[in-house]
Structure 1
Amino acid sequence: MTEITHQQAEIILRETLAKGREMGLKPLSVVVLDAGGHPKAFLREDGASPGRFEIARGKAYGAVMLGMGGRAQMARAEAQAYFMAAVNGAYGGKVIPVPGGLLVKDGDTVIGAVGVTGDTSDNDAEAGIAGIEAAGLTPEP
């Protein structure tokens, strides 16, 4: 079974933050989860608010548990609010269905998820996409 490695997680963290600096974003926080939704790695930049871990994890958790990136989750929440409310209840309120939650794939296999927070959700997603691609993996925003 393919899984996200510690080395890949480190690359994702480093390159996501580098992309955020290149874009001039506010301080970011980034979490990498394995395919079971468990944290593999996390970084919070200096100046990022302390609650950002839970937001980053919520974005990534929704992606890996639902098998869809944050953009698709947000569209689903807008179209089927009751469904997403029920899902969030089933997962103990841990799902944050907005951009910045990204599935991580190796080929067609989901091996984890990344959650990025700190700037606008779309900017968070853009930075995360760069990090995932730098690790040689495929993002699904």
Structure 2
Amino acid sequence: MNTKSVLGLAEVSRMTAAARAEADRHGWAVSIVVVDDGGHPLALLRLDGASPSSAYIALEKARTSALGRRESKAYEDMINGGRVAFLSAPLAGTLEGGVPVVVDGQVVGAIGVSGVKSDQDAQIAKAGAQCVAE
């Protein structure tokens, strides 16, 4: 039988704290979502001033990253590069800002951020993911 690591409350708390610290450092009002490897939400943090829609978008970015086992930016790049067939993929968060969390070579979840420019969302997400990633 195979075994794998899973995100627990301690890891999720560290991830959201690190992501929030990165957002606070720049004064960015964002939503931060952590999901497990199946894209199911484990935590949602909507900072003061973040738009309600950012919570939905952050969840979808995280879900896309977890299910696709890669950064959500990869899908955005494919679509922008002409592979428009990906627009029909059953993934709603094909924008930069979703980052997988990899432990022992396996994706154990992802973090998604929305609320500022996409590269800034990704910067925040990476700060969160790096706390537990290998």
Q: Give the TM-score normalised by structure 1.
A: 0.86
SS of 2:35's partner is strand
Residue in 1 that maps onto 2:75? 73
**Kindly, what percent of the aligned residue pairs are identical?**
29
Question: How far did residue 28 of structure 1 move?
Answer: 1.1
SS of 2:55's partner is helix
State whether structure 2 residue 112 is matched by structure 1 residue 112. Answer: no
SS of 2:57's partner is helix
Q: Map 1:21-100; keep pairs closer than 5 Å.
A: 21-25=24-28, 27-79=29-81, 80-82=83-85, 84-87=86-89, 91=90, 94-100=91-97
2:14 is matched with which residue: 11, 16, 27? Answer: 11
Question: How far did residue 23 of structure 1 move?
Answer: 2.2
Describe the superposition over 1:23-65 as per-residue Cα deviations: whole angstroms up to 9, x where unpaired.
232x111000000110011100111111222100111111111
Quote the Cα distance in structure 2 between the aligned partners of 1:16 and 1:115.
10
Structure 1: which amino acid aligns with 2:94?
P
SS of 1:54's partner is helix
Contact 2:112 2:125 in 1 (8 A): yes
Spell out structure 1 runs of 4+ moving beyond 3 A. Answer: none
> Which ranges in structure 2 are unaligned for 5 or more consecutive residues?
none
> Which ranges in structure 1 are unaligned for 5 or more consecutive residues?
none
Quote the Cα distance in structure 2 between the aligned partners of 1:132 and 1:101.
10
Question: How far did residue 101 of structure 1 move?
Answer: 0.7
Superposed CA RMSD:
1.3
**Count of paired positions:** 130
Contact 2:111 2:128 in 1 (8 A): no
Q: Give the TM-score normalised by structure 2.
A: 0.90
